[in-house]
Structure 1
Amino acid sequence: MKQILNSVRLSAKELGSIRAITVCGMLLALRIVLSMFTIHITAILRISFSYLPIAAVGMIFGPVAGGVFGVAGDILGYFICPTGPYFPGFTLNAFLSGFVYGVFFYRKPVSLRRTFSAKALITFLISILLNPLWLSILYGKAFFAVVSARIVTNLVMFPIEATILHLLLKMIEKSRVTRLIRKNC
């Protein structure tokens, strides 16, 4: 718990730098573009890779920046390309995703175990529990009907998304981009 609080403190401090804001802005643009290329399977089931920039911000700038980035991406994405009514529950999901990625990866080495654990927590908490809750509230559908459809999709997508996430984070780690960005911050 102490380590998480320390990460939150460092992340909040780092978020105020010009470099952090600039890099987050560029990654925010990438997140918006990636969210526009979402594959819609049904009205409530979608496949997207917009989680990758969120994870990158969480890794580079920590849980506070990851959470703020998630919120900004969700709200800006809604105004640029709305896919339904605005619902604050999805904004909460975006914050939690960025925050969790920051907790798992900020100033820590990337490992398969850490990557799969972070993705599993986000998949379970957000994709399987919270998203169906928000969708059932928003559209009046039965919670368990929405959950059952999402479980199948997430079971198929989890290994694919976790592998892509691991490869991306390993590339960021090997490129040492975090050191370049943090230099003189």
Structure 2
Amino acid sequence: MKKFVTLFTDSYRELKSVRTITTSAMFGAVAIVLGMFSINMGSYIRVSFSSIPNGMVSYLFGPVVGGLFSGSMDILKYLLKPAGAFFPGLTLVTVLSGIMYGCMYYRKPVTLRRVLVSKFLVMLVCNVILNTMCLSVLYGKGFMVLLPARVFKNLVMWPIDSMIFYTMAKALDTMGVFKAIRRTRTVGTK
């Protein structure tokens, strides 16, 4: 339990770093661009790769920063490209997904298994269950009516999102980007 609490306190301390804010802003720009290229399949299904920067920020800075980043990006992307009605419940689910990614990635090695498990859990809890509940409330459709299409979409996207995130994270790690961000963060705090 102490390790779990430490994840949040350490992630909260990350907010005090200018490096955290600027790195998050750069990933935010990438998330906004990726969000502009989302594919809407009706009112209930959207295919987008803008969750990749959310995972990267959660990996680098933890659950607190990841949750704040995910929620703020959700609102900002909606303001720039509104698609459907705004519903605060969907933003809270996005915050929860950032927190979940932060708990599963922060200060842990990126492995394909970890990425597959974390993507599956976030897709199941946030995308399939909670988002479908929010859409059911928002549009007045039955939960079970929306569920099959959303389950199918997430099952198709799960390996694709996982492989893209894993490949990008490994490439950035191999190039030394993550090490450079961490090194300058620790140098700046001394």
1:176: Cα distance to partner?
Answer: 3.0
Q: Is the Cα–Cα contact under 8 Å of residues 57 and 65 in structure 1 kept in the other structure?
A: yes
TM-score for both structures, normalised by structure 1 = 0.95
Paired position in structure 1 for 2:115: 115
Paired position in structure 1 for 2:7: 7
Paired position in structure 1 for 2:170: 170
Paired position in structure 1 for 2:52: 52
SS in 2 for 1:62: helix
State how far apart, in whole Å, the 2-side matches of 1:32 and 1:81 are: 9
Counterpart of 2:114 in structure 1: which amino acid?
Answer: R
SS in 1 for 2:107: coil
Superposition pairs for residues 10-159 of structure 1, below 5 Å? 10-159=10-159
State how far apart, in whole Å, the 1-side matches of 2:121 and 2:163 are: 15
1:159: Cα distance to partner?
Answer: 1.1
Counterpart of 2:93 in structure 1: which amino acid?
Answer: N
TM-score for both structures, normalised by structure 2 = 0.93
1:108: Cα distance to partner?
Answer: 0.8
1:179: Cα distance to partner?
Answer: 2.7
State how far apart, in whole Å, the 2-side matches of 1:173 and 1:130 are: 32
State how far apart, in whole Å, the 2-side matches of 1:41 and 1:140 are: 18
State how far apart, in whole Å, the 2-side matches of 1:145 and 1:54 are: 29
State how far apart, in whole Å, the 2-side matches of 1:4 and 1:172 are: 26
Deviating 4+ runs (over 2 angstroms): 172-179
Q: Percent identity?
A: 42
1:98: Cα distance to partner?
Answer: 1.2
State how far apart, in whole Å, the 2-side matches of 1:162 and 1:12 are: 27
Aligned length: 185
1:97: Cα distance to partner?
Answer: 1.5
> RMSD across aligned C-alpha pairs, in angstroms?
1.2
State how far apart, in whole Å, the 2-side matches of 1:5 and 1:143 are: 34
Unpaired runs of at least 5, structure 2: none
